[in-house]
Structure 1
């Protein structure tokens, strides 16, 4: 193949190289998506989606030509170099050699680096090239054969230290790359995020005083390439070796950042540049429902803890997904199943058509590593954005038409009866924030709002509390005001017998009738220390505060999320029964009752059951979902 390419005219060969790049762009979808996501992270602040897609295509065309040029190496001569190779800063080489300590030509994987390395070997000075073995032995053998053809000395990484030192002492040049540092590199800031960079050149320069010349290769047009050399980089020493390595490496990286910004199509983008960074960005997509947001926040908390266990910090950002109107939202959910794994990257026209401008603008700018959502309406947005950024996608609740196979992890409660799949985690309860720390903080926040007990100081350390969580209407279920009235009177009856105060909150789903009953029964009740009508004056962390202070909690039966939060607080939870519940609601209530997480009872039996439990004080049981979720998250990380 190499002989055939060398037989063709140079311009025709490179024309075929561009077509090869087109083919790779069309069919190498996995690496193309990595390249796109990396360009977006690095240059997305100044390029829109279409421009990033165009730049990705330009990179592949340049890369195709670079591959073809490898086969030119055996036929290179000075006439070819003089005709097609331009130099900027060539005089810096002689200046660097004048020190007599050798020279390190350092670069990143950009332009036709294999051809450029050989060109350096043809410039009349001894040139050593530090190489790593390729995955494919035959390719490795071919490249080294071509490199040696023009007198380039090969230094294998396994013998690098001794051979590199010898070369510098002979006042020879060494070619090295600093990007793709892998596990052994140092983390430095590269386009705003931590990336691993090789430290070998900096370590040699610090120890032996050799100058470093940064080199960048770019294609001008067709066969014309340009080698850009910068003034010798003199490492700075402070006496702290590790700090010197880090600071000098960071300064060098900034030099290459500027060159990459000038000639981005030449840089090799299709590898995971920021893989070894110690920071992750987490994006929560909210559908505007408080219960769904709390579940997403609970998952983000578990995720942050899992990342912290690996020494990785995280930032969590929340964005409410606002559609232009309800009809577009429904249409988007119906058609989102047509979105493809790779086809949507760089397009996003569907999101632009259905989302409000401020939402769309934010989502196209952000570069998350992990995306979390809860609810079927935002699941398609999660999928499209995760493919756009190659982020991990985690969905809470069944994603409906989007299907479960598209996401890295789907967390679904058991009462939804999901299909058992590798990426599906079935939980007993709904995700929530109710741990000891959250409950304690929430309780302290609502303390100032508690009604004082006469002139007594505000002290609840020895107080007993009964919490009442009033939900509201849901699909096919209507919480009746008469039932709530009976429940309220039962609670007041128990509070008198056990000397407990009462904490009450409604929800945004509570009807006017339910709110009227709550006011009528508790507004002037001496034992009611806290009454919140959510639709009139909702207090932040109200639910968590009530759960934190109460020893016994009474819940209406329709809200799986609210009952799960109560159960996770590890308090005695009573759920009063009422007819009209859907089959799915009945399933989770029966399951929680069988497992001993709740006491499910008729309204008329509520007071008796509460008194029995208060007297006997049985052990409290709660689901162990958080442990399972953490294990599942560890797997996808």
Structure 2
């Protein structure tokens, strides 16, 4: 509250001082100062700048290019700076000013709209200098009512309203305006309203391919009282020269179903504005979270190519998708492997809202992409060379001794996808694949062999000893053996395994991952086996075995 009060005082003083000085300066000089003001805001307003740049990259930047998005963002801030300066011009605007500097395209549409006799809504979005646009409409020779809402800055509101009233505009406040709006359209007068930024109470329609909340007031009014709507868009040609584009008169369509009519008409109007924003992207106010209230999310998993890491990420994604589904939000999941330079360059095509990665080697990439896309960043395992504060959520196993932080979740083991349905699905798929040599015994021993890692190694001698014990147990228990190595398994260990089990009758499944892998193997082994034996170096592998609900031994 105190911050708003200070901002209100400062804004009001700034506008008055700016208005005083611009009275003595040529318009071009004043607008040059406005562009420099926009550059300053661009530099210091990091919070909104990154939101704007992310929005632009997801919509109008060619190919989602980050550099193109940055250029448009900078230009948009310069346009915004000019618009701020231009507000101080309002007391000086008169008919000669309008005739010289304002070019109204399709002006005949105004007469056509009034001829219907049902009132006219000049509908806009937050693009161009919308304050100046109100004054332009108020000087076109017909009664014009401006529908406004209190912005929480009373002194600044009073100053702006004094500018509006001096130029002939009448004001209706949103807090007490429905009756006055109805009276206005019944008198066949004009109202100025905006459509975007509907907030939590708006209607969701597609805007640049994703659901965004739009204000419903104008369309509801038109549906009830058959008003004409003129979609308007404003763009600066050069200096003080403004082009006002009046789209063709829009009359609402009706099907008899109120909610459908509201949504369909809003969707068509959103398409009109999307067309103009694509033509003049620097004019739109990109600094708010356009799709915040949408019911769709894009979730991207970054994979370093390690199966265990990918399964952990998929497990986290599954939990998030379930939580969002409970709130009525649909999640679209994408997975991108980022081991090569070419695959990393391919990330430009993704527009994620949430990014998940596992493994320290790609945590920095997660952070950079999340920052560029204004996405939520989630990492599993401790990230390398980056503070945990840089991520929205960090999931770390207890054995890594994670610090106590608000954004850190500690797990007993590694997240995984293992549940009864997962085991059943993987088992059935592996059966159909032909990997299993013959019918399995009721009792199976599953064996998961990893490989060397930092501070740990598996020798051929150790594996030979372990396999001898497993074969002895299989004979005693009348059990079959199902074994898989990993990509980390050394050639020496692989050779020992092939020598020991390659021709052994009870070994019904032998998968050397570096030779022929199958994504269903580990899940199927866990599903078929009653006993699981695992090497100890991979928390992911051991956690999966433990989550399967089988007897687990680690050597």
Q: Which of the residues 526, 549, 552 maps onto 1:570?
A: 549
Using the TM superposition, give the Cα deviation of residue 5 of structure 1 relative to its aligned residue in structure 2, in angstroms: 2.9
Question: What is the alpha-carbon distance in structure 2 between the residues aligned to residue 59 and residue 365 of structure 1?
Answer: 23
Using the TM superposition, give the Cα deviation of residue 193 of structure 1 relative to its aligned residue in structure 2, in angstroms: 1.3
Deviations 1:320-347 (A, max 9, x none): 2234xxxxxxxxxxxxxxxxxxxxxxxx
Aligned residue in 2 for 1:631: none
Asked whether 1:415 is paired with 2:394, we answer no
Q: Which of the residues 362, 370, 387 maps onto 2:354?
A: 370
Using the TM superposition, give the Cα deviation of residue 497 of structure 1 relative to its aligned residue in structure 2, in angstroms: 4.0
Is residue 44–residue 365 contact of structure 1 (8 Å, CA) maintained in 2? no
Tell me, which stretches of 5 or more residues in structure 1 are unaligned?
324-355, 577-637
Instruction: State the TM-score, normalized to the length of structure 1.
Output: 0.81
Aligned residue in 2 for 1:560: 539
Is residue 296–residue 396 contact of structure 1 (8 Å, CA) maintained in 2? yes
Map 1:164-563 → 2, pairs under 5 A: 164-323=181-340, 356=341, 358-448=342-432, 449=434, 451=436, 458=439, 463-563=442-542
Name the stretch that deviates more: 157-166 or 96-105.
157-166
Map 1:31-50 → 2, pairs under 5 A: 31-46=48-63, 48-50=65-67
Residues 257 and 500 (structure 1 numbering): CA distance in 2 closer, same or farther, change over 3 Å? same
Using the TM superposition, give the Cα deviation of residue 360 of structure 1 relative to its aligned residue in structure 2, in angstroms: 4.3
Using the TM superposition, give the Cα deviation of residue 459 of structure 1 relative to its aligned residue in structure 2, in angstroms: 7.6
Using the TM superposition, give the Cα deviation of residue 144 of structure 1 relative to its aligned residue in structure 2, in angstroms: 2.0
Name the stretch that deviates more: 564-573 or 139-148.
139-148
Instruction: State the TM-score, normalized to the length of structure 2.
Output: 0.92
Question: What is the alpha-carbon distance in structure 1 between the residues aligned to residue 164 and residue 377 of structure 2?
Answer: 44
Deviations 1:397-453 (A, max 9, x none): 111212322111122222222322222222221222212221111111122446566
Question: What is the alpha-carbon distance in structure 1 between the residues aligned to residue 63 and residue 458 of structure 2?
Answer: 53
Using the TM superposition, give the Cα deviation of residue 46 of structure 1 relative to its aligned residue in structure 2, in angstroms: 4.7
Question: What is the alpha-carbon distance in structure 2 between the residues aligned to residue 6 and residue 221 of structure 1?
Answer: 20
Using the TM superposition, give the Cα deviation of residue 366 of structure 1 relative to its aligned residue in structure 2, in angstroms: 2.0
Is residue 418–residue 426 contact of structure 1 (8 Å, CA) maintained in 2? yes
3-state DSSP of counterpart to 1:363: helix
Question: What is the alpha-carbon distance in structure 1 between the residues aligned to residue 386 and residue 440 of structure 2?
Answer: 51
Detail structure 1 runs of 4+ shifted over 6 Å in the superposition. none
Using the TM superposition, give the Cα deviation of residue 527 of structure 1 relative to its aligned residue in structure 2, in angstroms: 3.2
Question: What is the alpha-carbon distance in structure 1 between the residues aligned to residue 114 and residue 145 of structure 2?
Answer: 14
Alignment RMSD (CA, Å)? 1.9
Aligned residue in 1 for 2:28: 11
Question: What is the alpha-carbon distance in structure 1 between the residues aligned to residue 240 and residue 32 of structure 2?
Answer: 10
How many residues of Structure 1 are paired with residues of Structure 2 in the alignment?
537
Tell me, which stretches of 5 or more residues in structure 2 are unaligned?
1-16
3-state DSSP of counterpart to 2:62: coil
Residues 54 and 511 (structure 1 numbering): CA distance in 2 closer, same or farther, change over 3 Å? closer
Question: What is the alpha-carbon distance in structure 1 between the residues aligned to residue 517 and residue 403 of structure 2?
Answer: 38
Question: What is the alpha-carbon distance in structure 1 between the residues aligned to residue 63 and residue 413 of structure 2?
Answer: 44
Using the TM superposition, give the Cα deviation of residue 477 of structure 1 relative to its aligned residue in structure 2, in angstroms: 2.5
Aligned residue in 2 for 1:635: none
Question: What is the alpha-carbon distance in structure 2 between the residues aligned to residue 7 and residue 314 of structure 1?
Answer: 56
Using the TM superposition, give the Cα deviation of residue 210 of structure 1 relative to its aligned residue in structure 2, in angstroms: 1.2
Name the stretch that deviates more: 224-233 or 400-409.
400-409
Using the TM superposition, give the Cα deviation of residue 518 of structure 1 relative to its aligned residue in structure 2, in angstroms: 2.7
Using the TM superposition, give the Cα deviation of residue 7 of structure 1 relative to its aligned residue in structure 2, in angstroms: 3.8
Question: What is the alpha-carbon distance in structure 1 between the residues aligned to residue 198 and residue 407 of structure 2?
Answer: 32
3-state DSSP of counterpart to 1:128: strand
3-state DSSP of counterpart to 1:87: strand
Deviations 1:57-115 (A, max 9, x none): 11111111111121222222111111111110111111111111111110101111111
